[in-house]
Structure 1
Amino acid sequence: MTNPKTAHLISHTHWDREWYMPYEHHHVLLVELMDTLLDTLDQDPEYRYFHLDGQTIIREDYLQVRPDQQERLDRYIREGRIQFGPWYVLQDEFLTSSEANLRNLLIGHRDAQPFGVISKTGYFPDSFGNMGQAPQILQQADIQNAIFGRGVKPTGFNNAVVDAEAYESPYSEMIWRSPDGSEVLGILFANWYCNGMEVPVDPEQAKVYWDKNLQDAEKFASTPHLLFMNGCDHQPIQTDLPAALRTASELYPDIHFVHSNFDDYIEAVSRHVPDNLATIQGELRSQHTDGWGTLVNTASARVYLKQLNQQGQTLLEKVAEPLAAMAHAAGVKAYPHHLLTHAWKMLMQNHPHDSICGCSVDEVHREMVTRFAKSRQLAEKLVSQTAQAIGESVDVKSSEAWGEDAVLFTVLNTAGWTRNGIIEQELIVDKAFFPEGPNPQALARKLEEAALPAYQIVDSAGNIYEAEIVDLGVHFGYELPKDRFRQPYMARKVKVTFQARQVPALGYQTYGLVPAREQKSSSVNGVQAEGNVMENQYLRLAVLDNGTVTLLDKRSGKEYVGLNAYENTGDIGNEYVYRQPDGEQAITTEHLQAELRLLEHTPYRAVMESVLHWHIPAGADELFEQEKRYMIPFTERKAQRVQDTVPLTITTTYTLEAESDMVKVRTEFNNQARDHRLRALFPSGLVTDSHSADSIFEVAKRPNTPAKEWVNPSNAQHQQAFVYVTDEATGLMVANKGLNEYEILQTSSGSTIAVTLLRASSELGDWGVFETPEAQCQGPQSVEYALIPFAGDAARSGACASAYVYPIPWTTVQLGTLAHTYAKEALPIDGVKAGESTLPPYKQWLDWNSEHSTLAFSTFKIAEETGDVIARWFNLTAESAELQAQTGFECTAVYESDVLERVKDTLEEKLQMVSGHKIVTQGYQLC
């Protein structure tokens, strides 16, 4: 006897907070929907459940307008009739950082904690591809399933379901396995997440509806439990669903129709799945499709958003949180959980896929820029306050390297690796508060007239550093004391530029600006520059007449030629999809003549500038406007670019620092063209079949050539911090700051990395006609990336570590003069008096075996529930790796934690073996 079929109808609405309308337009509709939902739950006990789209922010958004409804809403969440969580927002997984994905899950769980219930559904309904480590992340959060809409089968225009033979799974159910081996039950919306919307109550209409929809669901289901999603994008709830289900039950007595929820549905499916489910591995990026529906080109839509997001994420997770954890562990400042959560939430409100992907109307993205700024302002203030608290507690008297007239400052390294780098810091060498003189003008003149000595930079061990010191004159400033009114002052400032060396990971070094005197020197392998060539102990860089670069890796002897030419093509697609005009040939800067000059040359840094004067087509022709207006599908468009051109001047600076394994590149241009794409090209000369790209908690290895089903001429893909090609002996890596799209171009001479710098488009695309002129990204633009050649393995060579450290800014704080430090009045800072000597001039909070390791460091923070220090790593390779960490603070126990920062097993040994591709979190209980 066969099992009877059950049709599970799950009511929901897929709630894009902003998309084809600005946020507040959507907000009004959300309030109306939630009002109706609560009324329906009150009035109809047969309307049993509603799935709140997997994101807790919906509750926040609703109560912002209807705080009077909190009791009703919260009661239904507690009762389980409204399913809540597990995410804060439905993020784009590939365009948000590894830690941002975890903060999203963690904050979603924290939001749900007061209710004692959370939906343990790994919900990814419309992610534009899915991260390969999702099963491991979900498993660590006790989520045993993943429900998704894209990644293993084609999805057509306006999310239409497309039949094709190239499914990676014959069923809508499958096993999804992470690179580390973690598995969850994967359930694909094979008929999309609207296959049960607007169910008819009328029997005649219901018969037509169910005959088709039942057949469509049965085509992919491996069990008798059929999933029907009763809702769609911003879909109002179907208040008469109970009546519609009664009609269906009468029409199909052999099928059990139930108003269901994901918990019940997944439990039922799990009992009946067959043994022959397909296992899909790692990333879900729709590679076995025609390639048009992957929407990967959202990675290059409105690049400025990606840059702002990278800056915001980095400032929070790689600076503000580690600094706050250091201060907390040292006992000098309490960890500001509430403010950090507020900053993260503000940032994550830009992380939904239609937001961070840059595929909404212009009003949406204008508001995003403001949110980015507000989150950054919060983070900057927290960084400033925390650095000051640490600085105030440094015992500068313990070093004999400085005299009492030294101006002291501390350089903090919040990266997980010891690093060198150029520090540019403004220092106050003298100041006078307004009450100390007759007026600000007189104070300014007095300070201006004072003669400054010749200065030098000295660290706490007495080492002298080559430095450039520039007098900046007099400037206004103010202090905001904790115990009295603001204190304005006039100050004499200097700017110091030098190379800090071997600043410890998650630690700091203190320096003094002192009048020049004899002292032992600190040796450094410097930078040479002559003509168009720059060279340090590792690299030799020649900028050629056409602005391209020849780069020699002196360690391996490998030379890379023709790096960083620029390529331009037309784009008659939209914010979602890049589409080059038929028959068009790309134009490049290969035959242009560059203007070259050496901008800077010091012992620690050389900077070369290349200026290219280019002309590119002004935009697409008139046919393009007509094709957009008439909704001609982008694959069928015949538009071309016009013959008229506009100037595009590209200014590139190449920076080589002493003892550095990378060349830093900054490219600036003023975009006046429309409907085009600009890329930088990096021919490796390496013949390879695959390449590797930094993704979410993994370096994903991807084939250079797509599957046979792929017909899209473009094979662009996502990256986080870097992409590289290697022949196992040598390799070329391109790191970036907020440039998330690349493509590997295959030629007979080897693989070329193409990184997208700008994509200018003019319409949203998808299901309607929505003009987006601001997506043309006209006006001044600047992008930053770095070239990192390496020998052997990218992880063990240190290339991956260099790329991860590259975007992390230094943090500096001035301590004042030593004389002032001796005499200053002690002011309380979270229970520790300023001037109390609690910290040495040089300190490290966490040391681990980073050299030649295949582990990557990810986070250093404080767990909100336990107050413990949390540190996280992930293994970049399939081989096991040793992890040995030593704390620079007192702790009573070390334990294994997880992505939700819970206390798991105690670690008795300092040495922990980390299996291949494992995400490992350690907790440290403070004394």
Structure 2
Amino acid sequence: MNKKKTVHIISHTHWDREWYLPYEKHHYLLIEVMDQLLDTLETDPNFKSFHLDGQTIILDDYLQVRPEKADQIKKLIEAGRLEVGPWYVLQDEFLTSSEANVRNLQYGMRDAKKWGGLSKIGYFPDSFGNIGQAPQILQQADIKAAAFGRGVKPTGFNNAVIDASAYESPYSEMKWQSPDGTEVTGILFANWYCNGNEIPVDEEKAMRYWDEHLKNLETFASTTHLLMLNGCDHQPIQMNLSEAIALANRLYPDYTFVHSSFNDYIDAITKETKEQDLKVVEGELRSQHTDGWGTLVNTASSRVYLKQMNEKTQTLLEKVAEPLAAFRYLIDQTYDHDLFAYAWKTLMQNHPHDSICGCSVDEVHDEMVTRFKKSEHFTEMLIDRTLEEIIKHIHTDVFDDEEVYPFVVFNTLGDPRTDTVTVTLDLKRAYYRDGVNKASLRKLSVDGFVVTDEHKNVYPVQIEDQGLVFDYDLPDDRFRQPYMARRVTLTFNAQALPALGYQVFALVKGDCPATSLVNKACQMENDYLTVEIAQNGSLNITDKRTAKKYRGLNVYEDTGDIGNEYMYKQSSDGLVRTTENEVAQIELVEDSPISATYKITHEWLLPESAQETLEQEQKELVWFTNRQSERSLKEKPLKIETFVTLSHQATYVDVKTTLNNNIKDHRLRALFNTAMKTEHHYAESVFEAAKRQNTPNSEWTNPDYSQHQQGYVDVSSVQQGLCIANKGLNEYEILSSQETTIAVTLLRAVGELGDWGHFPTPKAQCLGEQTVEYRIIPHSGEAERFDAYQLAHAFQTPVITKALPVQGGTYPATHRFIGVDKTKALSYSNVKVAEASGDVMLRYVNLDHQQHRLNLNADEKWTYYQSDVIEREHQPLISNDVKVNGHEVFTVGIKSSEVSK
């Protein structure tokens, strides 16, 4: 006999904080919906529960206007009638960093528990694809299931049912497995997250409704528990739902209809799925077995300026501010969690999928720029104040020179770092309280200096005289102190800066001969690389370590784009323009003791926009895949200035490209021919160097095969490799014709939001000055690719410097706060202090499939234990023998019994 089936009806509203309306307009609507919801929960005891979209920020937004409702909300959450969390916001997983995804979970779970409840489901209702390490992250937080709307097979939008038997899983339920083998129960919203929307209370309409919906539900269900989501985008609650459920129970006695919750639904299906074999879906969910048009991957290149601001700010927080604060904590036990919560939450308000993806109306993204600046400025103050406290303890009285200007260089990354360092120093200050003699400041000489360290190693230096500069101190015990200073900016190449530590240097009088890197016209060379600039402006790079040559790197490609903020669609003429046959102007603009830089200028004639027919197609809601517009016959010159830099110690080439974009409806990319034939490549994703195939699956019909990246994309063979690192350039494509070419999107300019209506977005054309930065890293192939990934992370993370006086101190001139020895495959992620325990948290991820060992410095003052992404204490660790499994995200907790010295 067939078991009676249960229909779980979960009330919810998918609340995009901002999208087709600016934030405050959606905010106003949220107040109305929440008022209605609270009234219904209080007056209808049969309205059992409501899922608050998996994001706790909704409560913050509501209570801004209705603070008096806090007690009522807390009681409802404690009673299980409001389900909140586990996220702070519903982020785009691919466009936010590894640590940003973890902070989102940490702050969301922390806030939910303060309210008295937690929805224990990894909720990704509308994420534009899902990261491969999500199951491991969730399991470490004791979350055993995840629900998502995209990424596995064609989703039945608007309750349509699609035959998915040929795809990854025939059911909505599956096992989703991370690269390390960790699994959670995965639930696909096969009929979308509005498949139980607006249930009728009229008997005749209800029968028609349920006859169709029950059939659709049973098509994909592997258990006797059927999932219906009663709600949709910004959907007001169905206040008569209790009546609708009671009617359904009367009409269909073979089913049980319950007003359910995700916690209850997960418990129910878990009991049944244990009894049967579900398909295992591995790693990233990027809709690889579809036609490729619905992945929304090109949101990775919409409004690139937003991605750049996000990369800068989240890097400052996770790779600079938090590590420096952890260093200070090891000195004086001071760490202000509230300040970090404010900085992170301000930043994460830009991380929802319709925000960071750049696929909203212009007003939304205007406000995002302000939020980015708020978080960036606050973080900069956090860094500055932390540095002021740390440097008080550093011993700098190690130089014998008469004229000494000490400064400290911090390496906040987990590997030793050789890099170009820029420092600003004041040779002399004159405070207004004491009187200012500007003439005496001007007389100070800035010539004849070198940089030295405590071991008397001498470094060539390039000095830029800033002249007289006004500045001020903001002491914590008196009024602001303005002054005039004779200021210089110096640049030198530091070698092997200690990991998670610092080194003191000083500017002193002296002489150090330096050789030029320019050995002939349009060519630079150091001990590792030779860089030749061709007449068309492309780069020919020879890796002297492997004798491999890479030719024609950094050719620019431009195509028309008649798509929208979500998806790229090449103009119907199919024309592809490149600079391969252009003639560039090449000029040497720097030849210093530190580096050499060439400026390459292209004056490139391109179509000024799409034809006028595109605007008509947009207004008439012609779906972007069916548009026929071509590029305009009118052309304009696009001026591109490319600065190519090679420094003395570099095993890479840095590129900075500036253009004043005056072209509409187009995509600009940089092409890098790797001269290799491969079937796969690697791209940085969240806690992963994801191994991806170069060519799509057979179901893919989209001519474009763009994909997401974080800090780098890499093509490797056994004997050679080419890695392209970036700062906020999140989209690339592998062009596999005869030789594998990496195409990195630098700019995509479109004029509409897209999706369900006509929403013009003129600012998405990204007109005006645009600057992008990337790094070209040749390497010796599969065995050494992890070295290249370290250089990519160093490219994103600034070296932090601070001037300090000649002084005594309890910390030496060179110091590591946390000593770690490891293999290159163990990639450092972050160090911070846990709020609950006060212990230091140090996180790595194993980018390799093989197990690797981590050795922590033995110190009787410290004990180590294995932690997790929500910073709990698990089993103790033996410091000199920590095993990290393949692809494992590994967090070390460090207990300190006294202040570390």
Superposed CA deviations along residues 175-198 of structure 1, whole A, max 9, x for unmatched, are 111100000111100000000010
Secondary structure of the corresponding residue to residue 324 of structure 2 = helix
**Aligned partners of 2:709 and 2:732 also within 8 Å:** yes
What residue identity is the alignment partner of 1:417?
D
Q: CA deviation at 1:470?
A: 3.1
Secondary structure of the corresponding residue to residue 45 of structure 2 = coil
**Aligned partners of 1:790 and 1:797 also within 8 Å:** no
Q: CA–CA distance in 2 between the matches of 1:364 and 1:381?
A: 26
2:788 corresponds to 1:799: yes
Secondary structure of the corresponding residue to residue 694 of structure 1 = strand
Secondary structure of the corresponding residue to residue 380 of structure 2 = helix
Q: CA deviation at 1:114?
A: 1.9
What residue identity is the alignment partner of 2:834?
A
Structure 2 counterpart of 1:694, from 673, 684, 687: 684
Equivalent residue runs for 1:780-795 within 5 Å: 780-793=769-782
The residue number in structure 1 matching 2:415 is: 417
Q: CA–CA distance in 2 between the matches of 1:159 and 1:610?
A: 54
**Aligned partners of 2:156 and 2:191 also within 8 Å:** no
Superposed CA deviations along residues 18-76 of structure 1, whole A, max 9, x for unmatched, are 00000000000111111111111111100010001000101100001110111111111
What residue identity is the alignment partner of 1:799?
A
Structure 1 counterpart of 2:641, from 651, 657, 662: 651
Structure 2 counterpart of 1:578, from 555, 560, 568: 568
Q: CA–CA distance in 2 between the matches of 1:891 and 1:513?
A: 36
Q: CA–CA distance in 2 between the matches of 1:30 and 1:275?
A: 41
Change over 3 Å in CA distance of 1:483–1:353 after alignment to 2: same
**Aligned partners of 2:223 and 2:272 also within 8 Å:** yes
Structure 1 counterpart of 2:887, from 903, 910, 917: 917
Secondary structure of the corresponding residue to residue 69 of structure 2 = helix
Task: Please list every run of 5 or more consecutive structure 2 residues that lacks an aligned counterpart in the other structure.
Answer: none
Q: CA–CA distance in 1 between the matches of 2:860 and 2:374?
A: 35
2:472 corresponds to 1:501: no
**Aligned partners of 2:846 and 2:889 also within 8 Å:** yes
**Aligned partners of 2:493 and 2:649 also within 8 Å:** no
Q: Compute the RMSD of aligned alpha carbons.
A: 1.7
The residue number in structure 1 matching 2:424 is: 426
Superposed CA deviations along residues 300-335 of structure 1, whole A, max 9, x for unmatched, are 00000000000011000000000110111122x711
The residue number in structure 2 matching 1:901 is: 871
Q: CA–CA distance in 1 between the matches of 2:115 and 2:70?
A: 12
2:186 corresponds to 1:186: yes
The residue number in structure 1 matching 2:538 is: 548
Q: CA–CA distance in 2 between the matches of 1:86 and 1:795?
A: 38
**Aligned partners of 1:8 and 1:260 also within 8 Å:** yes
The residue number in structure 2 matching 1:832 is: none
Equivalent residue runs for 1:136-535 within 5 Å: 136-155=136-155, 162-273=162-273, 275-331=276-332, 334-397=334-397, 399=398, 401-403=399-401, 405-437=403-435, 440=436, 443-451=437-445, 454-516=448-510, 527-535=517-525
2:776 corresponds to 1:775: no
What residue identity is the alignment partner of 1:870?
M
Q: CA deviation at 1:404?
A: 5.3
Q: CA deviation at 1:415?
A: 1.4
Secondary structure of the corresponding residue to residue 551 of structure 2 = strand
2:629 corresponds to 1:639: yes
Structure 2 counterpart of 1:861, from 819, 832, 841: 832
Q: CA deviation at 1:417?
A: 1.3
2:530 corresponds to 1:560: no
Q: CA–CA distance in 1 between the matches of 2:160 and 2:831?
A: 43
What residue identity is the alignment partner of 1:215?
K
Q: CA–CA distance in 1 between the matches of 2:564 and 2:233?
A: 20
Structure 1 counterpart of 2:857, from 886, 894, 906: 886
Superposed CA deviations along residues 880-905 of structure 1, whole A, max 9, x for unmatched, are 11111227x87431000000011111
Q: CA–CA distance in 2 between the matches of 1:601 and 1:451?
A: 22
Q: CA deviation at 1:499?
A: 1.1
Q: CA–CA distance in 2 between the matches of 1:297 and 1:161?
A: 26
Secondary structure of the corresponding residue to residue 197 of structure 1 = coil
Q: TM-score, normalised by structure 1?
A: 0.95
Q: CA–CA distance in 2 between the matches of 1:879 and 1:620?
A: 50
Secondary structure of the corresponding residue to residue 636 of structure 2 = strand
2:813 corresponds to 1:841: yes
Secondary structure of the corresponding residue to residue 886 of structure 2 = coil
Q: CA–CA distance in 1 between the matches of 2:785 and 2:500?
A: 20
**Aligned partners of 2:460 and 2:514 also within 8 Å:** no
The residue number in structure 2 matching 1:112 is: 112
Which deviates more, 360-369 or 702-711? 702-711
Q: CA deviation at 1:167?
A: 2.1
The residue number in structure 2 matching 1:126 is: 126
Q: CA deviation at 1:724?
A: 1.1
**Aligned partners of 1:795 and 1:876 also within 8 Å:** no
Q: CA deviation at 1:87?
A: 0.4
Which deviates more, 155-164 or 681-690? 155-164
**Aligned partners of 2:158 and 2:195 also within 8 Å:** no
Secondary structure of the corresponding residue to residue 343 of structure 1 = helix
**Aligned partners of 2:834 and 2:841 also within 8 Å:** yes
The residue number in structure 2 matching 1:828 is: none
Q: TM-score, normalised by structure 2?
A: 0.97
Which deviates more, 721-730 or 54-63? 721-730
Secondary structure of the corresponding residue to residue 866 of structure 1 = coil
**Aligned partners of 2:712 and 2:726 also within 8 Å:** yes
The residue number in structure 2 matching 1:827 is: none
Task: Please list every run of 5 or more consecutive structure 1 residues that lacks an aligned counterpart in the other structure.
Answer: 822-835
Q: CA–CA distance in 1 between the matches of 2:736 and 2:385?
A: 50
Q: CA–CA distance in 2 between the matches of 1:546 and 1:460?
A: 47
Q: CA–CA distance in 2 between the matches of 1:452 and 1:5?
A: 83
Q: CA–CA distance in 2 between the matches of 1:906 and 1:469?
A: 50
Structure 2 counterpart of 1:619, from 595, 602, 609: 609
Q: CA deviation at 1:157?
A: 7.1
Superposed CA deviations along residues 202-231 of structure 1, whole A, max 9, x for unmatched, are 111111111111111100000111000000
**Aligned partners of 2:413 and 2:499 also within 8 Å:** yes
Equivalent residue runs for 1:706-745 within 5 Å: 706-745=696-735
Secondary structure of the corresponding residue to residue 32 of structure 2 = helix
**Aligned partners of 1:93 and 1:127 also within 8 Å:** yes
Which deviates more, 532-541 or 191-200? 532-541
Change over 3 Å in CA distance of 1:72–1:736 after alignment to 2: same
Change over 3 Å in CA distance of 1:373–1:14 after alignment to 2: same
Secondary structure of the corresponding residue to residue 591 of structure 1 = coil
Q: CA deviation at 1:718?
A: 0.4
What residue identity is the alignment partner of 2:637?
P
**Aligned partners of 1:529 and 1:606 also within 8 Å:** no
Q: CA–CA distance in 2 between the matches of 1:846 and 1:892?
A: 10
Change over 3 Å in CA distance of 1:563–1:491 after alignment to 2: same
What residue identity is the alignment partner of 1:187?
I
Superposed CA deviations along residues 324-375 of structure 1, whole A, max 9, x for unmatched, are 10111122x7112111110000000000000000000000000000000000
The residue number in structure 2 matching 1:830 is: none
Which deviates more, 352-361 or 643-652? 643-652
**Aligned partners of 1:891 and 1:924 also within 8 Å:** no
Which deviates more, 778-787 or 111-120? 111-120
Q: CA–CA distance in 2 between the matches of 1:878 and 1:483?
A: 54
Q: CA–CA distance in 2 between the matches of 1:156 and 1:83?
A: 26
Secondary structure of the corresponding residue to residue 566 of structure 1 = strand
What residue identity is the alignment partner of 1:431?
R
Secondary structure of the corresponding residue to residue 849 of structure 1 = strand
Secondary structure of the corresponding residue to residue 846 of structure 1 = coil
